[in-house]
Structure 1
Amino acid sequence: MWREAERMLIVPLPQPFRYAHNLDYLQRSTNECLYHIQDGAIYKLLPVAGQNVLIALETAADDTALHIRLIEPSEGAQSAETRAAIAHYVWAWFDLGTDLSPFYAMAARDPILEPVADSFHGLRLMGIPDLFEALSWGIIGQQINLPFAYTLKRRLVEQFGTSLTWEGRTFWAFPTPERIAALAPEDLTALQFTRSKADYLIGVAALMADGALSKEHLLSLRDYPQMEQTLLRIRGIGPWTANYVLMRCLRWPSAFPLADVGLHNALKHVLQRSEKPTLPEIRRMAEGWAGWEAYATFYLWRVLY
């Protein structure tokens, strides 16, 4: 899965893979607070093995491997456990364990997906490996536009997250469930969260802090309906948020945020229509995507920026 060479971690890349397409996705907002991209390298503060580690990630020239430099603390200060956790995080973040051949074979037969899959060949479904971050981002994004969602996330992270400063730039890690569970709703409404979203975030944080909810437990269910129903029983988690988390964190390929406005707008654009398709129409369009709805959705989102 990974090896060490020249004071860095090297993660071999499955093919097809295009770093440029994934980098474009990560640069979709100028208000992203959880990583910084400069000269083609991704700088990110990772909470792993009980500490925050700043990494710089870039690709080999031929897209055959990701090179991960451990910046702070330095590579020599990192344990084997920490290095393995970093490699595992990057592997999950870029969804490197998924064989995309069946998806591309399916897309080649689909008139909607074929041009999109061809345009962004090698794009991976960039994920959110941390369950609390994924759930929080899903809750934050409910019923607001994307720019304001990024603003709320930045306020949450910079108020309650942890940070590390290196060469004059501050890098942030997402708040822990324990930190958010200890808050009062007023701590979040002061940041312009609605009262309901404040309650939802604190409630999810409390479930995770108490051990009643975990990524490991959800993955152990090994069944999409069970995973979805478990998430839907959480206050503040509806079908859209549940499927968003299943798609981007739990990596369930059939996850399908059917009601997603971005998906509707993308289909309107690809189909060159004046109106967005209806939900029954989208269901019919998606009949041929069975088993790959998550990737189909992600690729369609890509046409919007």
Structure 2
Amino acid sequence: MPAHRSPVWQDDGADLLLPVPDEFSFAQNYDHLATATNEALYTLREGRIRKAIAVGTQATVVEIAPEGQAQLRIRFVAEPNADSPALRAGVAEYVHDWFDLGTDLKPFYKMAKTDPLLRQAVESFYGLRNMGIPDLYEAMCWGILGQQINLGFAYTLKRRYVERFGQALEREGETYWLFPTAVRMAALTAEDLSAAGMTTVKKCEYLVDTARLIASGELTKEQLLAADSVKEAEKRLVRIRGIGPWTAHYVLMRCLRRPDAFPIDDVGLHHSIRHVLGLDAKPGKEQILEWSAGWSMWESYATFYLWRFLY
């Protein structure tokens, strides 16, 4: 398993200062976030990121910006409870997870520099992190919503879902949104979602069913993290109605941080490989397995870097 550091941060009384690894570029991650169309869950402005974050029963809005080359500055936006130790710790941990700051990328870069598929990607996007989705329900919803539709429409559906069922926070005249919780959505029906113009009835059923599994404690991050292998975790997820191998590996990659999660059937991955190698047609699965043989325990990052050529 790749080395992973626990979060540490400094508290200057007002803001939080979160150290970042040498292999980190705020600009690369900011540019990646900027490719999202119609994004509902964060705001980018003048090189700063604003995002609503839930910590237990508390919710806040923070602004994230670079502080030199070695730190991120996290500022609470008009937050009356900003002195809460639990809130401050929870925000620091969330941002650390969101930017995947605990993963040591040195071995990945060493491998990728000699890999025909990855060499150009790591040169172009050095310092990019696999920006994750820390909340399990949010990750699973995004996987479900994105099935068999284009990315632009998926973002439209996500915004509709968030603004209809999520929690709004008002700060300095702006509205920021939290993703709907599993507990909130577990109390609804597929018909409620369908009536709100969400998506197909089947997908609405999948969204509600997943919410009920998580809200009841039948499905947790801890269970999935305890799996002995990525295959075992995948099997646990694909038993859930509406979750296939692609969605399972997407969740394992973006939320559970499984380094060997590999959505090998992803169309975007195929297009990226075709672009890098200048192929006339998309590669087959056997070809991809052969080309990725050297990525062991870095399949997740390899996929994320190749995706970056497209979005």
Question: TM-score higher than 0.5 here?
Answer: yes
Alpha-carbon separation, structure 1, partners of 2:44 and 2:115: 34
| CA offsets 1:114-164 (integer angstroms, 9 cap, x no match) | 111111111111000000000000000000000000000000000000011
Equivalent in 144, 155, 179 of residue 160 of structure 2? 155
- Tell me, yes or no, if the aligned pair for 2:37 and 2:155 is still in contact at 8 Å: no
Q: Which deviates further from its counterpart, 45-54 or 124-133?
A: 45-54
* 1:184 correspondence with 2:189: yes
Match of 2:210 among 193, 204, 214: 204
- Which of 31, 35, 40 is 1:33 aligned to? 40
Does 1:81 find its partner at 2:65?
no
What amino acid maps onto 1:288 in structure 2?
Answer: G
One-letter amino acid of the counterpart of residue 137, structure 2: F
Residue 208 of structure 1: how far off its partner (Å): 0.7
Match of 1:51 in 2: 58
C-alpha distance in structure 1 between counterparts of 2:128 and 2:107, whole Å: 14
Q: Percent identity?
A: 52
* Pairwise CA distance, 1:222: 4.4
Partner residue in 1 for 2:123: 118
Partner of 1:229: 235
Give 2:34's aligned amino acid.
Answer: Q
Which of 172, 181, 184 in structure 1 is aligned with 2:177? 172
Provide structure 2 residue ranges, at least 5 long, that are not aligned to the other structure. Answer: 1-7
- Cα deviation, 1:26-58, whole Å, max 9, x if unaligned, reads 111230000001111110011113111110001
Q: Is 1:283 matched up with 2:289? A: yes
**Structure 1 unmatched ranges of 5 or more:** none
Residue aligning to 2:272: 266
Instruction: Determine the structure 2 residue equivalent to 1:293.
Output: 299
Deviation of 1:6 (Å) = 4.9
1:90 maps to a residue whose letter is V
Rounded Cα–Cα distance in structure 2 between residues aligned with 1:222 and 1:167: 46
- Do 2:169 and 2:175's aligned partners in 1 also have CA atoms closer than 8 Å? yes
- Correspondence for 1:135 among 140, 157, 164: 140
Alignment length, in residue pairs? 303
Normalised TM-score (structure 2): 0.95
Tell me the distance in 2 between the aligned counterparts of 1:289 and 1:213. 29
Could you state the TM-score of these two structures normalised by the residue count of structure 1?
A: 0.97
Using a 3 Å threshold, how does the CA distance of structure 1 residues 277 and 96 change in structure 2: closer, same or farther?
same
Which residue matches 2:105?
A: 100
